[in-house]
Chains A and B, each alone.
Chain A
Amino acid sequence: MSEFSYIKAENLQQALELLEQPNSIVCAGGSVLLLMIKEGAFPAGGQIVDVSGLSELKAISIDGNKLCIGALVTVRELLDSSVIAGHLPALFDACGVFADPLTRNTATIGGNFAVASPSADCVIPLIAIGAELELTSRLGKRTIACENFFCGQGRTILNKGELISAIITPAALHSAFCKQGLRKAMAISVATAAASLSLDAEGIITNCRFALGSVAPVPLRICTIEKLLVGHSIQEDLLPLLREAVSAEIKPIDDCRSTAEYRLELAAVLLSRAVVSAGKRS
């Protein structure tokens, strides 16, 4: 006999009704769900609501200068999409180092947000790019900047009955993502950095957005460092400036993967590499 029950939602309306139940547990790709159940994350009696069949959440589309990525698009599908490669290179970078090829076949971009790890590889570039999440419930839709979605390690501002339906983002041609883990695949990052730049004709940074992963309880945007870099050229060696700024802004921890001291240095180096890579893209 089961401790849990399972239902596959036939359509979005049914899914939203089911997700209003207090004991509902959403399942998309299911990359971490069974593990979480085994670890006792959910009380017995829960209902697994499988939303993986909702085709309305599986599209990648462009509307003017906005891209819309359905929450059920898998990491593999993002990698196969010329739209993503052409318009969101930082996200494309991240998908290429996300877990491993098999996991990418089922892991969804919405799921990467919902699990809310500070190391979430798809989240970090989207914060830098300035993307928003669209959240849908029976009451309607709302959007929220990606960096405001997280309120603690593994915790989000998603209400009961709400489903992440899409990621809505501008194009970000000068963007890049860098990851360092203890191995080249299947690695929770020691640190990650993403940069999205606006440059003038001489290569001077007119605007920039940065995000760091694995250095805080949440995926982190760092506005103070962004302000520091405006007016600088991408030809400069920005590492000394970034090193000082990053160590003032973040307080990483020691854990099983690395030390706070190493993360401080690594975050600055990865951010500087992301800025260089982003600047070189055209």
Chain B
Amino acid sequence: MRAKTIVTFNLNGCEVSLAVNAEESLLKALRHHGCTDLKCGCEAGSCGTCALLLDGLAVKSCIIPAASVGGKQIWTAAALCEYDALAKSLAESFIDCGAVQCGFCTPGMIIASYAYIIDGGTADRAAIRRALSGNLCRCTGYKKIVDAVEKVAQAFIHIL
């Protein structure tokens, strides 16, 4: 048995230090810490419900060792939607378009959609589907999720 690793990072705007096992995923460590907006779906890097922003990049937290994020900045979906205008408009659009049924895929979908638009993604339904191709939904059939993202992408003005 080995000692835990202490890892210090910025979580949703606050500095935190967590004691984690070497083999513990970022997903589990953050959920234990209280970030239950991160969902545990497949725990194998496939379904995308655990997605968050790590130093601005959308990643699947179930395959990232918690010990490896020292010094980095993490945003999870709920906090992002509270503090970021684009994320908030995505959340509202998801609700308006009926893109939330059970809601389990939604945090991951918001993160992936957010990253798509921030990276310059446009209201192109095929491109939106490709951007969300790492996020599985068992309820909606995806159309309403694509509608929601398309609506925000159309409205979002890229300021150069």
Contacts and interface: CB of A to CB of B under 8 A. Distances in A.
A156 B106 CA distance: 40
Given A33-B65, A100-B133, A185-B133, A105 B57 contact: yes
Interface string B45-73: 11010010000011110111101101000
Interface string B1-35: 11111000000000000000111110000000000
B112 A102 contact: yes
Contacts of B133: 100-101, 184-186
Residue of A1, A45, A103 most packed against chain B (CB within 10 A) = A103
B65 A186 contact: no
A48 interface: yes
Nearest to B60: A102
Nearest to B119: A101
B155 interface: no
Contact of A52 (B60, B68, B130, B131): B68
Given A6-B5, A50-B68, A103 B23 contact: no
Interface in A113-152: none
B44 interface: yes
Contacts of B2: 1-5, 45
Contacts of A76: 57
Contact of A6 (B22, B25, B43, B64): B22
A171 interface: no
Given A2-B1, A3-B1, A186 B68 contact: no
B3 A34 contact: no
B122 to A, nearest CB: 15
Interface residues of A, number: 32
B68 A8 contact: yes
Interface residues of B, number: 35
Nearest to A39: B44
A37 interface: yes
A32 interface: yes
B41 interface: no
B112 A1 contact: no
Given A2-B2, A34-B25, A35-B45, A8 B70 contact: yes
A160 B24 CA distance: 25
Residue of B1, B63, B112, B116 most packed against chain A (CB within 10 A) = B63
Interface in A166-185: 184-185
A47 B67 CA distance: 12
Contacts of A186: 46, 133-134
Nearest to A50: B68
Contacts of B130: 101, 185
Contact of B23 (A32, A34, A99): A34
A3 B23 contact: yes
Contacts of B1: 1-3
Given A1-B2, A30-B68, A106-B64, A35 B44 contact: yes
Nearest to B24: A2
Given A1-B1, A5-B5, 6 more contacts: A3-B2, A4-B2, A37-B23, A50-B65, A101-B58, A101-B134
Interface of A: 1-6, 8, 27, 30-35, 37-38, 45, 47-48, 50, 52, 76, 99-103, 105-106, 184-186
6 tightest Cβ-Cβ pairs between the two chains A and B: A100-B134, A185-B133, A6-B22, A2-B21, A4-B22, A6-B67
8 contacts: A3-B21, A30-B64, A35-B45, A38-B23, A100-B48, A100-B133, A102-B58, A105-B59
